[in-house]
């Protein structure tokens, strides 16, 4: 597996149709127009779904007919606009699913689709005028369907030939990157529906073209843990995103789709939302699943304009009835699976990471610190680096560190502002011999680049077990 940004990726292979077991019992589900097939698959189990007739989609991406899609560790849904027939099978039988039967008047999917067509009208007008397309921010409480809505809008936009720039500002989740990061990627091709956003960049064959994200490491689990650092990373991401809009007319026309974590009203949740709106010149804020948050956001941005002198529009949307809560245990397993896939691949692609012994003295490791108790939201976000150079110790064993595009001789500010080249895993720390056992995607020297260590994602003891 190549570290993102290094080397050429192999050409995409032809789609591989997989089925867990031919002997698995098959269930036929017939869906009427606007119905949804909602399913939950736990870790360690798989669910195979094949579209036999009609049309169906998952998060805005159409299912190919007579192609088996295998899902694992996922809570999601498949919907149809005109009706379809699905074949369902699971070797283990360990999954939960049901069919939701709303009408066109009852499903919020119709309002989501109408929103998409409105965004398309904005993009068409922007294309004719040579201006920037809509910059859309999706906010709401936890487990309200924010990411699903962003994926739907992304999938529908790519089907219209658009190339939206998708931004992930949720530090607990990763978009084409590991948890703890903020990232951006242009989506000009379909999303792999068997994963959240698609696989992280790798040198293995892929049925779906690989997206190459720009990644910055925040390294903490919540924006409130270090709001100044979080804002700094956001600002850096916004600079690069704005540059991409300026350089690529197709991306400029399509605009931005920005995902967020759950808004925590009691902990200054609106503060970083306002920062995102300002830095990315957001002109449309979508509030999903909360009348209170919608009212507060409406008051906060009433009468305000973007840096492009456009009014900021706030739109409230109902959340889908299919949205389910992902508990802490499930999310932890999702994060661990993402880390395992980064180093070892998945069921379709096997990767062979490299293990090497490295001297303490050969590495430059920087710890990402949470904010001090005396820090306030009003402090200058550029007042200090919030990074501390540390000596390797047992504290970093079983942790994932980011390898950054910077020099070990650069200042803490420069290292903080640099984007991620890739990740390594610290498998073992020998303090007596002063050596580390490092797992990396490629066999490369690590001493030339600084390594960043944060408290998120949490240590993972079973990676080499």
Please state, in angstroms and rounded to a whole number, the distance separating the CA atoms of residues 155 and 76: 15
Q: In what order do the strands lie in the sheet with 365-368?
A: 354-359, 435-440, 420-430, 400-404, 451-453, 365-368, 387-390
Q: In what order do the strands lie in the sheet with 68-71?
A: 26-31, 84-89, 47-54, 68-71
Please state, in angstroms and rounded to a whole number, the distance separating the CA atoms of residues 78 and 295: 31
261 Cβ contact partners less than 8 Å away, ≥ 6 residues apart: 142, 169, 170, 171, 172, 173, 222, 223
Tell me the backbone φ, ψ of residue 75, rounded to 5 degrees. -120, 110
Please state, in angstroms and rounded to a whole number, the distance separating the CA atoms of residues 233 and 168: 12
185: tokens are 């990627």
Cα-atom radius of gyration of the chain, to the nearest Å?
Answer: 22
Please state, in angstroms and rounded to a whole number, the distance separating the CA atoms of residues 287 and 141: 9
- Find the DSSP H helices in 130-214: 146-159
- Is 50 annotated in a binding site? The answer is no
- Is 70 annotated in a binding site? The answer is no
Residue 463 parent element (H or E): none
- Is 364 annotated in a binding site? The answer is no
- Is 21 annotated in a binding site? The answer is no
Residue 400: name the closest of 231, 178, 138, 143 by CA. Answer: 178
Token pair 């091709």 in the structure block, residue: 189
- Is 437 annotated in a binding site? The answer is no
- Is 146 annotated in a binding site? The answer is yes
Report the DSSP beta bridge partners of residue 27: 88
- Is 435 annotated in a binding site? The answer is no
**What sign does the dihedral 99-103-104-108 (CA atoms) show?**
negative
Residue 56 parent element (H or E): none
- Is 247 annotated in a binding site? The answer is no
For 242, counting Cβ atoms within 10 Å of its Cβ (0-12 exposed, 13-18 middle, 19+ buried), the class is middle
* SS3 label, residue 396: helix
445: tokens are 């020297």
Residue-wise burial string across 407-439, b where 16 or more C-beta atoms lie within 10 A, e elsewhere: ebeeeeeebbbbbbbbbbbbbebeeeeebbbbb
- Ranges of beta strands (E only) in 369-444 are 387-390, 400-404, 420-430, 435-440
Cite the annotated binding site for ATP by residue number. Answer: 36, 75, 143-148
Cite the annotated binding site by residue number. Answer: 36, 75, 143-148
């Amino acid at each position: 597996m190549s570290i993102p940004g290094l080397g050429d990726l192999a050409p995409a292979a032809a789609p591989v149709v997989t089925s867990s077991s031919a002997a698995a019992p098959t269930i036929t589900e017939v869906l009427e127009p606007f119905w949804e097939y909602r399913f939950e698959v736990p870790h360690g189990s798989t669910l195979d779904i094949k579209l036999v007739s009609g049309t169906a989609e998952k998060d805005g991406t159409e299912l190919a007919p007579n192609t088996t899609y295998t899902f694992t560790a996922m809570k999601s849904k498949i919907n149809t606009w005109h009706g379809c027939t699905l074949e369902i099978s699971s070797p283990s039988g360990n999954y939960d699913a049901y069919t939701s039967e709303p009408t066109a008047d009852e499903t919020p999917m119709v309002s989501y689709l109408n929103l998409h067509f409105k965004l398309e009208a904005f993009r068409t007008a922007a294309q004719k005028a040579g201006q920037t397309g809509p910059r859309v921010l999706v906010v709401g409480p936890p487990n309200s369907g924010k990411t699903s809505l962003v994926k739907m809008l992304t999938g529908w936009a790519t089907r219209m030939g658009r190339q939206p720039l998708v931004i992930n500002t949720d530090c607990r989740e990763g978009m084409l990157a590991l948890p703890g990061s903020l990232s951006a990627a242009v989506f000009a091709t379909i999303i792999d529906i068997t994963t959240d956003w698609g696989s992280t960049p790798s040198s293995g064959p892929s049925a779906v073209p690989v997206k190459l994200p720009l990644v910055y490491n925040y390294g903490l689990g919540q924006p409130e843990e270090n709001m100044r650092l979080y804002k700094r990373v956001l600002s850096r991401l916004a600079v690069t995103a704005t540059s991409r809009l300026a350089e690529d007319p197709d991306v400029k026309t399509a605009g931005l789709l920005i995902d967020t974590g759950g808004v925590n009203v009691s902990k200054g949740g609106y503060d970083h939302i306002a920062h995102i709106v300002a830095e990315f010149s957001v002109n449309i804020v979508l509030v999903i699943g909360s009348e209170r948050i919608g009212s507060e956001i409406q008051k906060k941005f009433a009468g305000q304009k973007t840096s492009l002198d456009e009014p900021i529009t706030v739109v409230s949307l109902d959340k889908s009835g299919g949205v389910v809560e992902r508990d802490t245990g499930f999310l932890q397993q999702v994060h661990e699976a993402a880390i395992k896939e980064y180093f070892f691949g998945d069921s379709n692609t096997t990767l062979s990471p490299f293990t090497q012994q490295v001297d303490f003295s050969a590495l430059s490791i920087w710890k990402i610190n949470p904010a001090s108790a005396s820090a306030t939201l009003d402090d200058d976000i550029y007042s200090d680096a919030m990074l501390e150079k540390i000596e390797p110790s047992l504290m970093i064993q079983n942790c994932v560190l980011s390898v950054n595009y910077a020099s070990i001789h650069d200042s803490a500010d420069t290292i903080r502002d640099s984007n991620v080249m890739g990740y390594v895993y610290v498998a073992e720390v020998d303090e007596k011999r002063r050596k580390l056992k490092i797992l990396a995607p490629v066999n490369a020297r690590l001493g030339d680049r600084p390594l960043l260590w944060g408290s998120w994602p949490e240590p993972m003891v079973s990676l080499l077990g």
